[in-house]
Amino acid sequence: MTRTVRISNDALALACGADHVAAAFAAAGCVVERVSSWGMHWLEPLAEIAGEGFGPLTADDVAAVLAGTSALGIGAIAAHPFIARQQRFTFARAGQTRPLSLDDYAAHGGWAGLDAARRIGPDGVIGEVTRSGLRGRGGAGFPAGIKWTTVAKAPAARKYVVCNADEGDSATFADRMVMEGDPFGLIEGMAIAAHAVGAQMGYIYVRSEYPHAIATLRGALDLAAPIIAPFRIEVRVGAGSYVCGEETALLNSLEGRRGEVRAKPPLPAIEGLFGQPTVVNNVLTLAAVPWIMAHGSAAYAAVGYGRSRGTMPIQLAGNVRYGGLFEAGFGMTLGELVMEIGGGTASGRPVHAVQVGGPLGAYHTPADFHLPFDYESFAAADGLIGHAGITVFDDSADMSAQARFAMQFCAVESCGKCTPCRIGSTRGVEVIDRIRARSGRGADPVESLPQMHNARKGGRSLAEDITLLEDLCETMKFGSLCALGGFTPYPVLSALRNFPQDFGLPAAAAAE
């Protein structure tokens, strides 16, 4: 009897050589099914045979696996601690379905949410989503039900559902995994949203760096078109700007305009795409909806912590031993996630810093490991969970370099609209460079001119530059138009406060 082997065709698995492994199994006479990824990145390429997992494999390992002599077996995948500790709602099908198989999708509970939504009607859907406590998974954490209600109530002939799939944060990949591995789940979520608010047209704005996701989504949309009709969805490919992940810049980009942030109000829910009421939600928000509709809001809301209800697909990356996707109810501590789930650093050196929430998230020290993973707890600790990307650093990292990187990132990605971000990020790099050089500065040639009567002639000390950097961060945080400039101070200030020695300050200055 021929054996069926399942191997992911997720981009990460492919990058690790999954195609070679699959070919080797096929050559050995196996039936190979290309499925989504389980999300255990350190095990990719991971092969599953009758529920047993083997990985990470190379083509050379195939013979041993089939012979039963491989040492790479991990036992039953579902029972693997990394999987078993998860609570998978959004990623319930991960690793188990072929992405473009409508049969697989239906067999694993697909379309049950949409069916339920159609049964209970738009108001019922919005009620369910509201009661579920689902909040925007893009980072802002705005209640989805309220947003949908606003769009539903806005009088307009045309409305839109826009999926923000411009996943640009470092260390994040959950959106990509949904789109590559479970595209029908996202489509179903969008169809439910459209049903709820009365939208006729949807767009998925995908970053151009995701060619596999784009191809998979396009294939899935062809297949699903009759199911979601009359609602229609198109995939639009982004133009390579981080700031286009900001919802209003994204809308500008979708309209063919310069990818520049719009001031709010008007909210996109009132005046969004082409001036019409528009739901803009992140991939994870929309992909969570079918589960809620199929299982009920109470089941979803039963999980979580504080005002953060349901599950969050957390992404572990950077210098971490067990990297991958870990979906769990809100509330696990940062320490559990990094040390127990992630297994500490891959290098084996001590964990020095953990950045949570992408490039604009704060750098935390192990002193913050007690923080429960939820929106409010991290905000209270001058941090944010963002899109739930966690990047781990060991003690070889120079945190002033990381602070500089944050300012540099902001300068490179700034749309240029608001002043604090446009000029501030460039000045920020300059100031941090001076700080890193421990130089302070003398009066510059312009300040030294006698005509510059009001300018101070004495130059500036390192301490004054530190103050200037702090003031700049305050200007950016409270003055910027969007989160790019507004959140850049998080990594900068957290690096400065938590790792003062990297800025030439005595460690004692750490705590103010």
Partner 1 sequence: MGYEPQADFGTPAVTAQTRVSLLIDGRAISVPTGTTVMRAAALAGGSIPKLCATDTLKQFGSCRLCLVEIDGMRGTPASCTTLASEGMVVHTQTSRLEKLRRGVMELYISDHPLDCLTCSANNDCELQDTAAQVGLRDVRYGYQGDNHLGAAPDQSNPYFDFDPSKCIVCSRCVRACDEVQGTFALTIAGRGFESKVSAGVASDDFFSSECVSCGACVAACPTATLNEKAVTAIGKPERAVITTCAYCGVGCTFRAEMRGEQVVRMVPWKDGKANRGHSCVKGRFAWGYARHQDRITTPMIRNAITEPWREVSWDEAISFAASEFKRIAAQHGNNALGGIVSSRCTNEEGFLVQKLVRAGFGTNNVDTCARVCHSPTGYGLKNTFGTSAGTQDFDSVEACDVMLVIGANPTDGHPVFASRMKRRLRQGAKLIVIDPRRTDIVRSPHIEADYHLALRPGTNVAVLTALAHVIVTEGLVDEAFVRDRCDQDEFRDWAEFVADARHSPEFLAPVIGVAAQDLRGAARLFATGGNGAIYYGLGVTEHSQGSSTVMAIANLAMATGNIGRRGVGVNPLRGQNNVQGACDMGSFPHELSGYRHVSDPAARALFEAEWGVPIDPEPGLRIPNMLDAATDGLFKGIYIQGEDILQSDPDTRHVAAGLAAMECVIVQDLFLNETANYAHVFLPGSTFLEKSGTFTNAERRIQMVRKVMEPLNGFEDWQVTQALARAMGLDWNYTHAREIMDEIARLTPTFAGVSFARLDAEGSLQWPVNAAFPDGAPIMHVDGFVRGKGKFVVTDYVPTDERTGPRYPLLLTTGRILSQYNVGAQTRRTENARWHLEDVLEIHPSDAENRGLRDGDWVRLASRAGETTLRAQITDRVAPGVVYTTFHHPTTQANVVTTDNSDWATNCPEYKVTAVQVTPSNGPSQWQLDYDAQSDAARRITATAAE
Stretch that binds partner 1, among 193-201, 280-288, 351-359, 452-460 (CB under 8 A): 452-460
Q: Which is nearer to partner 1, 130 or 419 (CB)?
A: 419
The C-alpha atoms of residue 96 and residue 401 are separated, in whole angstroms, by 42
Stretch that binds partner 1, among 11-19, 219-227, 258-266, 295-303 (CB under 8 A): 258-266
The sheet with strand 278-282 has its strands ordered as: 232-237, 201-206, 160-165, 278-282
Q: Which is nearer to partner 1, 340 or 470 (CB)?
A: 470
Q: Are residues 447 and 455 in contact, defined by beta-carbon separation less than 8 angstroms?
A: yes
Beta bridge partners of 328: 312
Shortest separation between residue 448's beta carbon and partner 1, angstroms? 10
Q: Should residue 171 be labelled a site residue for partner 1 when binding is judged by CB under 8 A? A: no
Q: Which is nearer to partner 1, 19 or 209 (CB)?
A: 209
Q: Which is nearer to partner 1, 436 or 441 (CB)?
A: 441
**Of 31, 78, 79, 263, which lies in the binding site for partner 1, with binding defined by CB under 8 A?**
263
Q: Should residue 456 be labelled a site residue for partner 1 when binding is judged by CB under 8 A? A: yes
**Nearest residue to 36 (alpha-carbon basis) of 57, 10, 15:** 10
Shortest separation between residue 499's beta carbon and partner 1, angstroms? 24
Shortest separation between residue 45's beta carbon and partner 1, angstroms? 39
Shortest separation between residue 142's beta carbon and partner 1, angstroms? 13
Task: Measure the CA angle with vertex 505, ends 501 and 511; round to 5°.
Answer: 85
Work out the number of other CB atoms within 10 angstroms of the CB of residue 512. Answer: 4
The C-alpha atoms of residue 493 and residue 428 are separated, in whole angstroms, by 12
Alpha-carbon distances of 289 from 114, 138, 292, 297, rounded to whole Å: 9, 14, 5, 10
Close Cβ partners of 86 (under 8 Å, ≥ 6 residues apart): 326, 327, 328
Shortest separation between residue 498's beta carbon and partner 1, angstroms? 24
* Structure token pair of residue 302: 């039963």
Q: Which is nearer to partner 1, 452 or 510 (CB)?
A: 452
Q: Which is nearer to partner 1, 445 or 450 (CB)?
A: 445
Q: Should residue 112 be labelled a site residue for partner 1 when binding is judged by CB under 8 A? A: no
Close Cβ partners of 399 (under 8 Å, ≥ 6 residues apart): 352, 353, 363, 495, 498, 499, 502, 503
Alpha-carbon distances of 504 from 62, 200, 366, 435, rounded to whole Å: 53, 57, 21, 8
Is 476 in a helix, a strand, or coil?
helix
**Nearest residue to 368 (alpha-carbon basis) of 380, 386, 350:** 380
The C-alpha atoms of residue 164 and residue 170 are separated, in whole angstroms, by 16
Question: Does an H or E element contain 328, and which?
Answer: strand 324-329
The C-alpha atoms of residue 142 and residue 161 are separated, in whole angstroms, by 16
Alpha-carbon distances of 142 from 288, 338, 398, rounded to whole Å: 14, 26, 34
Shortest separation between residue 414's beta carbon and partner 1, angstroms? 4
Applying the rule CB under 8 A, the residues between 37 and 76 that interact with partner 1 are none
* Total binding residues toward partner 1, as defined by CB under 8 A: 48
Shortest separation between residue 158's beta carbon and partner 1, angstroms? 11
Q: Which is nearer to partner 1, 362 or 415 (CB)?
A: 415
Q: Which is nearer to partner 1, 352 or 404 (CB)?
A: 404
Q: Which is nearer to partner 1, 246 or 394 (CB)?
A: 246
Q: Should residue 265 be labelled a site residue for partner 1 when binding is judged by CB under 8 A? A: yes
Stretch that binds partner 1, among 4-12, 63-71, 73-81, 451-459 (CB under 8 A): 451-459
Shortest separation between residue 503's beta carbon and partner 1, angstroms? 17
Residues in contact with partner 1, shown as a per-residue x/- string from 458 to 497 under the rule CB under 8 A? --x---x---x--xx-xx--xxxx----------------
Residues in contact with partner 1, shown as a per-residue x/- string from 217 to 256 under the rule CB under 8 A? ------------------------x-x-------------
What is the DSSP code (8-state) at residue 2?
P
The C-alpha atoms of residue 355 and residue 41 are separated, in whole angstroms, by 19
Residues in contact with partner 1, shown as a per-residue x/- string from 408 to 447 under the rule CB under 8 A? ---xxxxxxxxxxxxxxxxx--xx---------x-xxxxx
* Structure token pair of residue 307: 């005002």
Q: Which is nearer to partner 1, 475 or 494 (CB)?
A: 475
Is 169 in a helix, a strand, or coil?
coil
Q: Should residue 452 be labelled a site residue for partner 1 when binding is judged by CB under 8 A? A: yes
Residues in contact with partner 1, shown as a per-residue x/- string from 361 to 400 under the rule CB under 8 A? ----------------------------------------
Q: Should residue 454 be labelled a site residue for partner 1 when binding is judged by CB under 8 A? A: yes
Chain residues in the site for partner 1 (CB under 8 A) = 241, 243, 258-260, 263-265, 411-427, 430-431, 441, 443-447, 452, 454-456, 460, 464, 468, 471-472, 474-475, 478-481
